[in-house]
């Protein structure tokens, strides 16, 4: 769970003071941090729960709520949205999710026609009068893949009018980060004892603002018939596990946290080690797929072929060994 002290966005907004054609759609919107799960653990879904409360009076200055729309990252698909639940004054409501349902996803450029807003539409009415029957609604949904949490717009509709412009914490698109990997190439077909191996990761910020608090991890799988030295890592990592080499018959995980990359800039991460022992018949050290902010990036696996020096001198190639 996350708490409000860790979030760079509002967990409560109030439309009761935002005029719409000299009237108000007087609802307070809150992200319930106790019911939400913003930072899910393994096997958990990310969950958002919002409470809307009518805080107006029974007069013509205020308008009942007809429906509302929560802006979402435009990359979120309907298949990722699960376990939608709505309660009005504590009573569970039937939910139908789809184009003709009472919960609908509008992905840009599509918009909810009355409001002109894209996002997740909840078509449930609430009373404007504070303390009245049907004046409190709780709206929850889960995402099968976690998204960063940031400011998303809330649009309210009632009486033919739209209130918009206030934002609350919700799922936003991941920052424009690109992680690439450059695998080392040996002078010959193989690396041999004494050779230095350097793996280079490049983290590029393609956006126009600095991105902070980035995490990257990379894993080197060393087979039992190969021994490599301890790792030299730049910039210094947050952790190396196991922490000390030499390594043989193990996966070595290098992790960086708290990284920052300026707008349009590239941060270079390097892992270097020395081959200390190599098999007679050849083997492969595997540099597994790296992870960015906890999400594995496909296509970043590479192989580092290792062989005894005597076989390379005789001109034996990898195709000879693994034919």
pLDDT digits (tens, 9 = 90+) for 61-105: 999 999 999 999 999 999 999 999 999 999 999 999 999 999 999
Q: Compute the distance between CA of residue 16 and CA of residue 4 in angstroms, rounded to an integer.
A: 22
Burial of 323 (0-12, 13-18, 19+ CB in 10 A): exposed
Identify the pLDDT of residue 310.
Answer: 55
Question: Two tokens at 58?
Answer: 């029974």
Q: Compute the distance between CA of residue 272 and CA of residue 252 in angstroms, rounded to an integer.
A: 12
103-118 burial, b at 16+ Cβ within 10 Å, e below that, comes to bbbbbeeebbebbebb
DSSP state of 290: P
CB-CB neighbours of 87 under 10 Å: 15
pTM of the model: 0.64
Report the candidate in 31, 29, 42 with the shortest Cα–Cα distance to residue 141.
Answer: 31
pLDDT class of 57 with cuts at 50, 70, 90 = very high
pLDDT class of 282 with cuts at 50, 70, 90 = confident
Q: Compute the distance between CA of residue 56 and CA of residue 132 in angstroms, rounded to an integer.
A: 10
Beta strands in 17-80 (DSSP E): 27-31, 46-54, 67-70
pLDDT class of 320 with cuts at 50, 70, 90 = very low
Contacts of 228 (CB under 8 A, 6+ apart): 197, 220, 222, 245, 246, 247, 248, 273, 274, 275, 276, 285
């Amino acid at each position: 769970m996350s708490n409000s002290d860790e979030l760079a966005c509002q967990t409560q907004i109030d439309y009761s003071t935002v005029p719409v054609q000299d009237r108000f759609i007087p609802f307070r919107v809150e992200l319930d941090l106790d019911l939400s799960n913003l930072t899910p653990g393994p096997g958990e879904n990310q969950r958002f729960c919002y409470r809307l409360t009518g805080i107006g009076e029974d007069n013509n200055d205020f308008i009942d709520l007809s429906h509302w729309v929560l802006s979402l990252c435009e990359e979120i698909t309907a298949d990722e949205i699960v376990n939608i639940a709505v309660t009005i004054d504590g009573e569970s409501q039937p939910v139908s999710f789809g184009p003709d349902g009472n919960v609908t996803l509008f992905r840009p450029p599509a918009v909810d026609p009355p409001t002109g807003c894209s996002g997740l539409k909840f078509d449930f009415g609430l009373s404007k009068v504070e303390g009245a029957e049907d004046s409190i609604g709780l709206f929850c949904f889960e995402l099968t893949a976690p998204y960063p949490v940031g400011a998303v717009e809330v649009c309210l509709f009632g009486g033919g009018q739209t209130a918009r412009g206030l934002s609350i914490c919700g799922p936003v698109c991941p920052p424009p980060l690109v992680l690439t990997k450059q695998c080392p190439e040996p002078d010959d077909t193989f690396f041999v004892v004494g050779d230095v191996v350097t793996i280079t990761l490049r983290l590029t910020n393609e956006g126009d603002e600095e991105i902070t608090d980035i995490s990257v991890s990379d894993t080197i799988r060393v087979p039992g018939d190969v021994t490599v030295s301890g790792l030299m890592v730049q910039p210094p990592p947050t952790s190396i596990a196991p922490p000390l080499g030499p390594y043989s018959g193990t996966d070595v995980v290098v992790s960086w946290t708290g990284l920052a990359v300026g707008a349009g800039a590239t941060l270079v991460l390097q892992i270097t080690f020395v081959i200390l022992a190599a098999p007679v018949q050849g083997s492969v050290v595997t540099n597994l797929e790296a992870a960015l902010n906890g999400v594995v990036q496909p296509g970043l696996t590479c192989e580092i072929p290792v062989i005894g020096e005597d076989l390379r001198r005789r001109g034996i190639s990898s195709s000879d060994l693994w034919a």
